[in-house]
Amino acid sequence: MLKPEISEGVIIYSFSQENKLNAMIAEKVKTELGVHFEKPGTKMAMDLGNITFIDSLGFAALLSVLKKARNNSGLFRICNIRRDVLKIFLLLQLQNVFQIYETREECLKSFL
């Protein structure tokens, strides 16, 4: 489901088989990503390129991970969001909460 990679000291997560971040997987996503932020200073990017739908529990999972990152001096950023999913982020004004980047490359550069 979640596929982790490491590039330039940043953990990058993407979805390998799922195209929906919804109630069915939100808790697992929150747990798997959140555990990394038990170590202070962790840098993580979430690549949402394969995601076509996010429900309220999916957004709650992302917000929970962001809160855990901030509480432990970590960085959590989102990248590669499809336009239709980005519209929901904008509607909810989450661009004011998350650092969102159009591409994975731009996101990785932001950690430098």
Whole-number Å distance between alpha carbons of 109 and 111:
5
Whole-number Å distance between alpha carbons of 59 and 26:
8
pLDDT values of the chain reduced to their tens digit, one per residue, 112 residues: 899 999 999 999 999 989 999 999 999 999 999 999 999 999 999 999 999 999 999 999 999 999 999 999 999 999 999 999 999 999 999 999 999 999 999 999 999 9
C-beta atoms surrounding 54 within 10 Å: 21
And the tokens for 92?
Answer: 């909810």
Task: Name the fold adopted by 2-110.
Answer: Transcription Regulator spoIIAA (3.30.750)
3-state secondary structure 30-91: HHHHHHHHHCCCCEEEEECCCCCEECHHHHHHHHHHHHHHHHCCCEEEEECCCHHHHHHHHH
Per-domain residue ranges of the chain: 2-110
